[in-house]
Chains A and B, each alone.
Chain A
């Protein structure tokens, strides 16, 4: 007989979140892994197949600490290739929701809003593919009380930079290597290199 009071296993919790249902039918073929560009270009330890297995084997902590949980950009390259028709990013996002619930934080260097210049036009909110930017009311020192302003939800921001590319007042951008200035500099360097090559 089923015990109704038994706490849900990690897998059952993942399956209860829309998108996570099909995790249990993964037969570990690895198609998604060799399909994945994040695995190949960004992070070798990224592995959706292992994530499926961790969920099935109740390895909650390992799953929460795995880069796979935080780096999936939902590009959906793997989904049409999976022979078990598992919506893989759906499963990973379900794990991520549970991780956030448990207080885990994304290791990504996410976008930041310059509260001094943001005019709350909402363009960034519209374009963000991860629904990670919202307009909120806040007190801004030296600017005023209950100001409407953009705010980034760090746990859902995937640092794609789309927001900063549309912002008309340069008020939202990525940090470190990916600030507007750094991107423009490296683009300029690359172009110079190309023209040197062409003229040489």
Chain B
């Protein structure tokens, strides 16, 4: 930390909050609130004379309230930079500190929060994790029995810089405990609270036990566990060492802790499952390994940065295996335990990796993106005519579209990932997607349904999942109906209602609307846009009296080749069961309605005209690089 603060290219801003983030990769503008410390940073030398004279004591959060601090304080003795802060909520304005500071004259009670804007190229989020409060588990008596403590409290109690100078004492009487129980999975692997494994508590349980055994060789230590998880280099060997030292490992999750009111000793009730015996052992002290949980402010951080959360509230990665540190927003990365519980080696590794990912951006003048971005045809956008619309902006998972009444919607190209959701949602056909224009897709549909359309099963597949599923069915040589024909778009969000109507107007026997399972969507929420549109369509077709099964919605992953083959076969069966005569009659009777519904499709420029049209709008069609403005 000291090295970081000294580094000429690292600017450490503590006591500063990120309040707004605007712009895009390479071009972020970030609003910071530098909170008032009531101490002038350039003058304070960290001597601490102010704290010595300050008469006010409040609980010290860093010491988990196990010790006090003054109203003039530093968070901890190793704080970098070592700058004192006056806690205005506690301060009684006696100004003793001002006197003690003397000639340095570093204390300034008139200071106010400062708002500054910075130009930032890339952002790494490393906001870490928080600790589960075990007092919500009544069985364990935390906050009720003084000698039940948390692992975090233990970290302070056995730390030589901590409030007891490393002397482990029982809060009830100040004695050293002779028998200590450590309980794992407190609030972790517990569906009532947090279903996940907190990753590092097994290991720090063993670490603390080994440390305590070294400090107090006489101490009896038992670790209660469901499973001990040691899946890293050297970890199992460390576990082995703990057993060699005589630390007891009891497999069983305690169901209850009770207390002897006089001695404040504790009884841990648990089954020892390896023995099949219910046990009740007495201890002087119990340490609860509380779950790692997301920070309480994840929602506001998510919304400031426009990044998403995985279930539970951990920040979400772009792809769990292939892009584990990127967020779906280009230029914003996640490192350490904010992405999910990680120990120190893993946090440091991800920190270094994100730094180099961010470095790539800072060292390039241009940023390559896929050329499949959305583009607004300004003369069609009703917003330009002063009408309120903004449907495109709502569909965009990346906040890449800004809509202001009076001007046409604007796509920030560097933010657009090319799902095509806005294109399909726009009711005025005012947006197109390069390489996936309406005209191109319609041309494919028309070509594929030119011959005996009533025999065809027409599939709309997304690039990442259902197309991969179809591919998998092919490469695995799964047999399925040869009547399947299909087009590929990037995301189910691009599957325009008009494409479906057009397929039916042309006489398709059946239509498949397929894409990723929602959790697999490569465009954050693109699948949701696609899915709700598909459900709307299903209702419309039901109302029109379409035979059940002629329109089918299926979410198929790239690994589900067999499912793809099965779905197509079932659709073939549906067509066969309806029978050619009835099918043809149904197609014919619905044609006018389909034609009416797809009518605005005919207004879109043809394939050849589309590029001319775009050129006319003076927007480069060959946009492959964006200048990131440096």
Q: Which residues of A contact B (CB under 8 A)?
A: 27-35, 39-40, 47, 49-50, 81, 83-85
Q: Name the residue among B185, B271, B278 with the largest chain A CB count within 10 angstroms.
A: B271
Number of residues in B with C-beta < 8 Å to the partner? 22
| CB-CB contacts below 8 Å: B466-518 with A | none
- Determine, out of B21-29, B75-83, B252-260, B373-381, the stretch whose residues face the partner at the interface: B252-260
CA distance A50 to B275 in the complex (A): 12
* A34 & B191 in contact (Cβ 8 Å cutoff): no
Look across to chain A and name the residue whose beta carbon is closest to the beta carbon of B251.
Answer: A30
The answer, among A27, A34, A40, A84, for a CB contact under 8 Å with B227, is A27
**Given A81-B255, A83-B185, A83-B253, A30 and B191 touching (CB < 8 A)?**
no
Chain A facing B: main interface SS: helix
Q: Tell me if B190 counts as interface (CB < 8 A to partner A).
A: yes
B139 touches A81 (CB 8 A): yes
**Cα–Cα distance between A49 and B192 once the two chains are bound (Å):** 19
Sample of 14 further A-B pairs with CB below 8 A, known A30-B271, A83-B190: A27-B189, A27-B227, A29-B185, A30-B251, A30-B252, A30-B270, A32-B255, A33-B278, A34-B252, A34-B256, A34-B278, A47-B276, A81-B255, A83-B192
Residues of A within 8 A of B253 (CB): 29-31, 83
Are B191 and A83 within 8 A (Cβ)? yes
Known interface pairs A39-B278, A49-B273, A81-B139; A31-B255 also in contact (CB < 8 Å): yes
Report Cα–Cα, A83/B253, bound state, in Å.
Answer: 9
- Most-contacted residue by chain A among B251, B255, B256 (CB, 10 A): B255
- Residues of chain A within 8 A (CB-CB) of B185 are 29, 83
Most buried by B among A35, A49, A84: A35
B255-270 contacts to A, CB under 8 A, are 255-256, 269-270
**A49 close to B271 (CB less than 8 A):** yes
Instruction: State whether the Cβ of B41 lies closer than 8 Å to any Cβ in chain A.
Output: no
Interface pair A35/B191, CB less than 8 Å apart = no
List the interface of chain B (C-beta within 8 A of A).
139, 185, 189-192, 226-227, 251-256, 269-273, 276, 278-279
Q: Which of B189, B227, B252, B256 contacts A83 (CB 8 A)?
A: B189
Residues of chain A within 8 A (CB-CB) of B272 are 30
**CB neighbours of B192 from chain A (8 A):** 83, 85
For B251, the chain A residues whose CB sits under 8 A away are: 30
Is the pair A29, B226 in contact by a Cβ cutoff of 8 Å? yes
Number of A-B contacts (CB under 8 A): 56
Q: Is the CB of A27 within 8 A of B271?
A: no
Is A84 touching B271 in the complex (CB atoms < 8 A)? no
12 contacts between A and B (CB under 8 A): A27-B189, A28-B273, A29-B226, A30-B273, A31-B253, A33-B273, A33-B278, A39-B278, A40-B278, A49-B271, A49-B273, A83-B191
The answer for the CA separation of A131 and B595 in the assembled complex, in Å, is: 63
Instruction: Please measure, in the bound complex, the distance between the C-alpha atom of A168 and the C-alpha atom of B466, giving whole angstroms.
Output: 70
The 10 closest A-B pairs by CB, nearest first: A30-B271, A29-B253, A83-B190, A33-B271, A35-B255, A30-B252, A34-B255, A30-B273, A29-B226, A34-B271
A40: nearest residue on chain B (CB-CB)?
Answer: B278
Q: Which residue of B lies closest to A48 (CB)?
A: B271
Q: In the assembly, what is the distance between CA of A75 and CA of B139, in Å?
A: 17
Look across to chain A and name the residue whose beta carbon is closest to the beta carbon of B566.
Answer: A1
Q: In the complex, which residues of chain B have a beta carbon less than 8 angstroms from the beta carbon of A81? A: 139, 255
Contact in complex: B226, A27 (CB < 8 Å): yes
Which residue of A is nearest B187, CB measured? A83
CB distance from B556 to the nearest CB of A (A): 17
A-chain residues with CB within 8 Å of residue B256 when the two chains form the complex:
34-35
B residues less than 8 Å from A28 (CB atoms): 226, 273
Question: Which residues of chain B are near A83, meaning CB under 8 Å?
Answer: 185, 189-192, 253
* Distance, CA A27 to CA B225, complexed state (A): 12
| Shortest beta-carbon distance from B183 to chain A in Å | 12
A33 to B271, CA, bound (A): 6
Which residues of B lie under 8 Å from residue A32 when comparing CB positions? 255
Shortest distance between the CB of A147 and any CB in chain B (Å)? 48
Contacts of A85 in B (CB 8 A): 191-192
Q: Measured between alpha carbons, how far is A50 from B252 in the docked complex, in Å?
A: 13
For A35, what are the chain B residues with a Cβ–Cβ distance below 8 Å?
255-256, 269
Residue contact A29 to B278, C-beta cutoff 8 Å: no
Distance (whole angstroms) from the CB of B213 to the closest CB of chain A: 26
Chain A contacts of B279 at CB under 8 A? 34
Which of A30, A35, A83, A84 has the most chain B CB atoms closer than 10 A to its own CB?
Answer: A30
The smallest C-beta distance from A167 to any residue of chain B, in angstroms, reads: 36
Q: Which residue of A lies closest to B139 (CB)?
A: A81
